[in-house]
Amino acid sequence: MRRNEFLRSAFILAVAVSGCRFNKATEGQLNPPPDPGDGLDAGGGPDLRPVDINITPMSDAPLFEAEANVNCIEAHPQTKSLPPDVLILLDRSGSMAQKIDGSTCYATGAGGRGGGRMTTVDCGPDSKWTQMTKALKDFLPVVETTVNWGIMYFGSGTSNMGNDSCDVSTMAQVAPGTMNASAISMSIDATMPATSTPTTAAVTAAAKYLAGIDDGNPKFILLATDGLPTCGSGQGSDDANAIAAVKAAKAMGIPTFVIGIGTSMGGGDATLTSLATEGGFPRAGTPSYYSVDSATALKDAFSTITGMVGVCYFSVNPVPKTLGDITDVKGDDKIIPQDGTDGWTFVTMPSSSGIQLNGKSCEDYKSGNIKTVLVDLPCIVL
């Protein structure tokens, strides 16, 4: 006879960005099995008395509790919080050499007959590239122990006018890992804006690269761009294909956060909004992507995203495998709605799966207004 009850995975988590440690039950911690001759019905059915698994946590570790009948005990559900692998996919197109407001800088070059010719130049300390990368280099050391940061640039060519301006790398320039702030900073210093904007190819390459990292950690793409895709099959832009690429990455278990750099997006607001929505983690409010027009705004966006992936993601293994495996998610004793803006969403990763708290629910957890997150899962009968 197959009987189902529910497993409750209880996360009592410290409100800190430093992550969590979990203990797993051993055989010695399980209640002794029932007497085979006691409690069986005439048909030889299973003993239906509940079995409680209680793991005494370390002083700063969460507690995992489960209730199941003896048929389910072999499932050994466990919970864990893992440092996420976040690959920064940074636009290095030629327009990143412009100012934040989208204006171009010029210099007077040598000309005939005492005249001079105006040529476009990098805006230097006023450029989007310089301001954004400086903010990034200032921010990453603060959170390099919380998230496994990596970086990949797009495109990978050398000239905005060359045949390689839409090329992308298949590998990260800095692979996701702990304590990577210095390596990413040095990589940025050796890079400059120079290419077109091959967003579709970049997202596709980034997702394939992350899927190949078999460390069991949740994985995310952080797409930071200043405008529309420009490398689409002879067309002026590649919007629809870029949106499809982000959607495909999400289907692989790799969501995408989207940051729009600069106040003048060149009509790209709708595209960036779609990218953020299809990426799985749109920003609460309008616009749905993180719009930044200053170094401070970029730091704020990175801080918000870091809090979401580093604190508000909960992995549950070996279940759930699908959204249907989750019956309820509770914050303390109150139901948290399934909602991509202020509730919870189910996230499937290449090597794990779990739930993500979004918006107000994430903020309530980080601030301590929610202290315990409960995930109700159906029992697996083996």
- CATH assignment at residue 131: 3.40.50.410
pLDDT at 90: 96
Examine residue 38 and state whether it is found in any structural domain, yes or no: no
Same domain assignment for residues 141 and 27:
no
- SS3 category, 281: coil
User: What are the pLDDT digits (tens) for 259-307?
Assistant: 999 865 556 788 999 999 999 888 878 888 999 988 888 888 988 888 7
pLDDT band at 322; cut points 50, 70, 90: confident
41 in a structural domain: no
Q: Containing domain of residue 142, as a range? A: 85-108+118-311
pLDDT for residue 143 is more than 60: yes
Question: Has residue 367 got a pLDDT over 80?
Answer: yes
CA dihedral 69, 71, 72, 74 (to 10 degrees): 130
Question: Per-residue pLDDT for 111 more than 60?
Answer: no
Q: Is the pLDDT of residue 67 over 60?
A: no
Do 329 and 351 belong to one domain? yes
Q: Residues 230, 96: one domain?
A: yes
Confidence (pLDDT) at 310: 73
Statement to judge: residues 283 and 359 lie in one domain: no
**What is the predicted pLDDT for the residue at 189?**
94
Alpha carbon distance 11, 136 (integer Å): 32
Banded pLDDT at 68 (limits 50, 70, 90): very low
Among the three residues 257, 290, 311, which one is the final residue of a domain in this structure? Answer: 311
| Chain mean pLDDT for the chain | 74
Domain co-membership, 94 together with 138: yes
Domain membership flag for residue 43: no
Phi/psi zone of residue 370: left (φ > 0), alpha (ψ -120 to 50 degrees), beta?
Answer: beta
**What average pLDDT does this structure show over 363-378?**
81
More confident residue, 131 or 77: 131
Would residue 36 count as lying in a domain?
Answer: no
Give the per-residue pLDDT at 116: 58
Model confidence at 350, in pLDDT bands (50, 70, 90)? low
Q: Does residue 251 sit in the same domain as residue 148?
A: yes
If asked whether residues 189 and 206 sit together in one domain, one would say yes
Residue 305 domain flag = yes
Q: Clarify whether residues 101 and 184 are in a common domain.
A: yes
Whether residue 179 is found in the same domain as residue 328: no
- Indicate the number of domains in the chain: 2
The residue out of 311, 333, 359 marking a domain boundary is 311
Examine the pLDDT at 70 and tell me if it is beyond 90: no
pLDDT for the residue 159? 65
Query: What is the predicted pLDDT for the residue at 69?
Result: 41
Note whether 342 and 356 are same-domain residues: yes
Q: Do the domain assignments include residue 345? A: yes
Q: Token pair of 11, please?
A: 């996360």
Cα gap 365→376, rounded to integer Å = 18
Per-residue pLDDT for 112 more than 80? Answer: no
Q: Which of 272, 295, 311 is the last residue of a domain?
A: 311
Is 278 contained in some domain?
yes
Greater model confidence, 132 or 12: 132
∠94-159-164 over CA atoms, to 5°?
Answer: 115
At residue 10's C-alpha, the angle toward residues 81 and 218, to 5°, is 20
Mean pLDDT of 49-61: 38
Helix H or strand E encompassing 374? strand 372-378
How far, CA to CA in Å, does 291 sit from each of 83, 130, 199, 262, 278?
26, 17, 17, 7, 17
Q: Are both 338 and 286 inside the same structural domain?
A: no
Q: Specify the 3-state DSSP secondary structure of 280.
A: strand
pLDDT above 90 for 245: yes
Element (H, E) at 206: helix 199-211
In this structure, are 307 and 169 located in the same domain? yes
Residue 266 lies in a domain: yes
Most confident of the following: 55-59, 154-158, 229-233: 154-158
Tell me: the pLDDT tens digits for 180-230? Answer: 999 999 999 999 998 989 999 999 999 999 999 988 788 899 999 988 888
Q: Look at residue 17 in the predicted model and tell me its pLDDT.
A: 31
- When mean pLDDT is compared across 20-34, 194-208, 247-261, 323-337, the lowest value belongs to 20-34
Do the beta carbons of residue 268 and residue 95 sit within 8 Å?
A: no
What gap in Å lies between CA 239 and CA 51, rounded to an integer? Answer: 54
